[in-house]
Structure 1
Amino acid sequence: MNNYQFYKQEGNQYIFKNQPVFVSVLCIIFLIVAALLFNSVRTFSYVIIAVVVLIMINFFTKKFVIDMDRKTITGKHSIFVPVKTYPIENFRNFHVLATKYMGFITTNVMLSMYFEVDGKEKQLTIGQALTQKGIQKMVNETEDIMNLNNPENGYQRPL
């Protein structure tokens, strides 16, 4: 049995573990700002508190599941996005998007999967990290789970 850093295995289902550290730090910073501004700008403090509540709700509703029995990938990235399920056979590639501040300071790295469904490109976001090294580990674990590294499965990996 494999021990994965980013996935929890339940039978042949692999459930992405949400990363609570970034969300927790962000919520704490927002709450501190709201507390400091509460007496002078009360309405803005309420808006910040509402944003914190939305961030926390999104954290608990986010899910990403690879089901190797049904050969499907199911994802829900936010409370405002419906659950989407795609067959693994429709998988095309991973996409890594790095956001940089002033052109050289990496502030966020996001990993997505692209599927081709009925001739249209569809996207599921897997996760985010502060470094590309963390995203590379996510890609490696996801490839291992989906058996993309096995040459006998017939999947031709784009270079």
Structure 2
Amino acid sequence: MNEFKKFTKEENLYVMKRQYGFGLIVVLGMLAFTVGGIYYKNNAVIGIFGVLTVICFIAIWQQEFVIDLSRNEFRIKNGLINKPVEIPFADFVEFELVKVRHNFITTNVSLNLYYMKESKEKRTGIAQGFTTRSMQNLINEINEILDEHSRKI
């Protein structure tokens, strides 16, 4: 049995640990604008960025990715408004690693999951980060979990 760095095991559920890095930088940036609005006594900036800071922090807190081995599905929850997406293993197509670079500097790396629904290919995000290596390690752990489960069947 492997010990996973990015997942915790709860019986037949593998729950991805919270990824704070990228989201917290966005929240801290908006918080800086809020503090700047307080410093310059600009109520519009305080209100707008204060509310956005709170909403983004709640969205980060509610994001989850679960591999449910008893139901043979992925469960993904992104954002505040979106309901959780349940993707059976049979509908899974592939992972996609997207790297955004500006002037040779990587600014964002995201991991997406492609799946089939109603004969159409759909996509949902799993995680974001700053390095390709961290996202590749996440893909490797997901593959280890799925391989271990397929050997038990």
Identity in percent = 25
Give the match for residue 81 of structure 2: 80
Between 1:16-25 and 1:114-123, the stretch displaced more is 16-25
Q: What is the RMSD of the two structures over their aligned residues, measured on CA atoms?
A: 1.9
**SS of residue matched to 1:146:** helix
Give the match for residue 156 of structure 1: none
Distance 2:24 2:85 in 1: 26
> Scaled by the length of structure 1, what TM-score is found?
0.85
**SS of residue matched to 1:73:** strand
Instruction: Give the drift of 1:125.
Output: 1.2
Aligned ranges 1:38-57 → 2 under 5 Å: 38=38, 39-57=40-58
Q: How many residues align?
A: 150
Structure 2 unpaired stretches of 5+? none
Distance 1:127 1:85 in 2: 16
One-letter amino acid of the structure 2 residue matched with residue 89 of structure 1: A
Structure 1 unpaired stretches of 5+? 154-159
Give the match for residue 116 of structure 1: 116
Matching of residue 8 in structure 1 with residue 3 in structure 2: no
**SS of residue matched to 1:112:** strand
Distance 1:124 1:146 in 2: 19
Instruction: Give the drift of 1:20.
Output: 2.0
Give the match for residue 20 of structure 1: 20
One-letter amino acid of the structure 2 residue matched with residue 48 of structure 1: F
Q: Which has the higher helix share?
A: 2
